[in-house]
Amino acid sequence: MNNPIPSPAPNVAAAVGDTAHPPAAAPSATVAKPDSAISPQNIDIQDARMRIEQARHEHNRYGVEIQKKFSLAAACIVLVLVGAPLALRFPTGGVGLVFGVSFVVFSIYYVGLIGGEALSDKDIISPFWAMWAANVILTGVGLVLLARMGRESATSRGGDLSELTDALRASVAKVGRLVGFHGERRHRTA
């Protein structure tokens, strides 16, 4: 039978140089007061707050998913409101212009959805506005484009990217004249 050898007393171990059994620390002279912040009631309150926060997070996450289902369905109408006036504005723009504008519009919509979801997860905005803000903004842009459809000048050749840059240049020159900047006017020769 293997009997364990008792360890020497702390003062003997220190005298002999036993490093496996260091001397025990002397008890402190002051008695530690119980910490009032770690009472069972405070632990229960902190636990309840943590569960409420987790429930709020879950509520927002599920609310975002519900609103996302409806907002993605409505996105079809919103993207048509934006795409149709753009397509009619530049009928001979070519495939590159169509792909480029489609990519930009879809990227704006997608960033709006992902950003809204992140803001709702952090409890900054409500799940409804997180998912519907991109639809509301693009609907406004689409309605402005629809309202301006009849005001463009009609040409026999159709619109292209140079017509857009000419319109932007004219708008900037008009704003410049309003603020008092009179730059040189360039006349186009055809």
Q: Is the per-residue pLDDT at 154 higher than 70?
A: no
Q: Would residue 131 count as lying in a domain?
A: yes
Q: Would residue 34 count as lying in a domain?
A: no
State the DSSP string of 94-148. -HHHHHHHHHHHHHHHHHHHHHHHHHHHTTSS-HHHHHHHHHHHHHHHHHHHHHT
Specify the pLDDT at position 69: 93
Q: Is the per-residue pLDDT at 48 higher than 80?
A: yes
Q: How confident is the model at residue 72 (pLDDT cuts 50, 70, 90)?
A: very high
Specify the pLDDT at position 37: 56
Q: Would residue 152 count as lying in a domain?
A: no
Tens of pLDDT, residues 74-86:
999 999 999 888 8
Specify the pLDDT at position 51: 92
Q: Would residue 15 count as lying in a domain?
A: no
Specify the pLDDT at position 164: 72
Into how many domains does the chain fold? 1
Q: Would residue 53 count as lying in a domain?
A: yes
Q: Would residue 190 count as lying in a domain?
A: no
Average pLDDT score over residue span 144-153: 77
